[in-house]
Chain A
Amino acid sequence: MKRVYAKEEVCIGCRLCEVWCRTEHSRSKNIIKAHKSEFPPPVSRVLVEELMPVSFALQCRHCDEPECVESCITGALTKDESGRVVYNEEKCVGCWTCVLVCPYGAPQRDLERKKIAKCDLCPDRDTPACVEMCPNQALVYEER
């Protein structure tokens, strides 16, 4: 399956991937409203790590045998037939067990909703928003 990979050599740490991820996962899908008026505010599923001069974006790796799926106490996290690790927000109770077990630090706590937020590879798009909108092509969406 296709996954998102970062090219840290060309990432400049502008965090536009986070901006577009929040927008894609907002209710309005409007960049201004997503950042100015929506409550609870959308949480970015991609996180830019930075310790200059190095920076890169990191999101759920959609692991082959995901620790999060095996550990989630409610069954909110599952792996679907295509290989995506999918998340049923309705079932999540904010126990943070996935935060405890994910070796990539991928599940983010959404404190307003008391649920996690995690990369879903943008099911409504062909290419995830972060990849498409990165001005430096520092993210690629491909099979490896």
Chain B
Amino acid sequence: MSYVIIGNSVAAIGAIEAIRKVDKEINITVISDEPYLVYSRPLISEFLAGQVKEEMMGYREPGFYEKNGVTTKLGKRVVAIDSAKKSVKLDNGEEVAYGKLLIATGGTPFIPPMKGLGKERIYTFIKMDDAKQIDALVPEMDHVVIIGAGLIGLKAAESLHHRGVEVTVVELANRVMAAVLDVDAGGIVQSALEKAGINIVTENTVDEILGGKAANGVRLKDGREIRCDAVIVAIGVVPNAVFAKESGVEVNRGIVTDNHMRTNLPDVYAAGDVTEGPDYLNGGNRVIPIWPNAYIQGKIAGLNMAGVEREFTGGLAMNSIELFGVPVITAGLSNIDSDDLEVLTKIENGNYRKIVLRGSTIVGAVFVGKIDRAGIITGLIRDQIDISSMRDRLLADDFGYIDFPVELRKERLGAVAK
């Protein structure tokens, strides 16, 4: 009865570490189509910027696999799951039997239909090999167009700018990071980007990628043409679940799981960016493609696979990113207009602080600039603490445990922390 994990990224590591807490015996096999030991995916932008070397990108020590009794099959893709036979099939025809299976295949870039796709020099930016390909071309590039001003597009923009490449970011919405930032916060971030020299075109989109064999420009919706040496499509990621769906796994947007990270198939679990797991704030299920969520889902899946019952309390959308020296933190319902939500904000010298309340609990927050100790607010969201007595202090830069009701503070600080 061996454990098999498809994917070798953070959700897989969360599962391995959890399984090994309870089961030190039974073999774990990890299969991934990427040829690398686990690396920190977010660091591909620091790699492209030339700030972090490949050797420093390992998320765990190289000895991690051996120490944890993990067999790896790297550079191999799973093409199907046979849930009756309890085995998975690889692209080289090999079959691997499982007792318990975890699908942790992450996301794949979403590329909307547009004219001119299929040329050379059109990239996405989610894998080590994407970063290496773009890196190799940097000496030949003067100008790159990036489609999408979300986290990944802006990180790629910053990295290339750092290498001396001119960058134009094209975004459909009227501001950067529109999914998580409101107009005020988006405006602060956007002006920092523009001040640094990034060209940002909003409320526009690429109609056609121009060029012959290789991309050499784009034509925008408004007819304008921009010459460039490469295009990076960074519109978003979608769960990498096609083979799972074809094998009978229930997939909506992502693989649907219950709060034990089980799929509809017996002994088959899913975790990370590939899942549409329970959503903490809104109930129901939702894809929340972020690193912490992937680790925690992996951990919960691993514990349950190893026979220790543990419930996932639900994912919380959140992110921390720093662009050109401006740190930005978002958590929960950071940018949703709704009658049942009350919003407190403060803008001061380029610093922004926003707290979103539903009744007497916090359900969302944004910090730009002064982000220190933001996690205290994240904790209040996670635990749905009644903040009535601290309401007036929530926007203070030095908000802290001093503002907590004394019993709650003593309970939190006086005992072993969970």
Contacts and interface: CB of A to CB of B under 8 A. Distances in A.
B70 interface: no
Nearest to B403: A51
Given A51-B403, A103-B375, A144 B416 contact: yes
A139 B416 CA distance: 15
A136 interface: no
Contacts, number: 120
A63 B374 contact: no
A93 B416 contact: no
A133 interface: no
B234 interface: no
Contact of A100 (B374, B401, B415, B417): B374
Interface string A102-144: 1111111100000000000000000000000000000000001
B320 A5 contact: no
Chain A interface category by residue count: 35 or more
A49 B401 contact: yes
Interface in B373-418: 373-376, 378-379, 382-383, 398, 400-403, 412-418
Given A3-B416, A71-B291, A102 B375 contact: yes
Chain B interface category by residue count: 35 or more
B186 to A, nearest CB: 18
A39 B406 CA distance: 39
B416 A103 contact: no
Nearest to A7: B414
A96 B327 contact: yes
Interface of A: 3, 5-6, 47, 49-51, 54-56, 58, 61-65, 67, 70-71, 73-75, 90-91, 93-109, 144
6 contacts: A61-B416, A93-B46, A96-B320, A104-B379, A105-B373, A109-B371
Which 6 pairs across A and B sit closest by C-beta, in order of nearness?
A: A103-B379, A105-B373, A61-B417, A71-B292, A102-B375, A49-B402
Interface of B: 14, 40, 42-43, 46, 51-52, 56, 58-60, 291-292, 295-296, 299, 318-322, 327, 329, 331, 371-376, 378-379, 382-383, 398, 400-403, 412-418
Given A49-B401, A100-B320, A105-B400, 5 more contacts: A62-B417, A96-B327, A99-B373, A100-B329, A105-B374
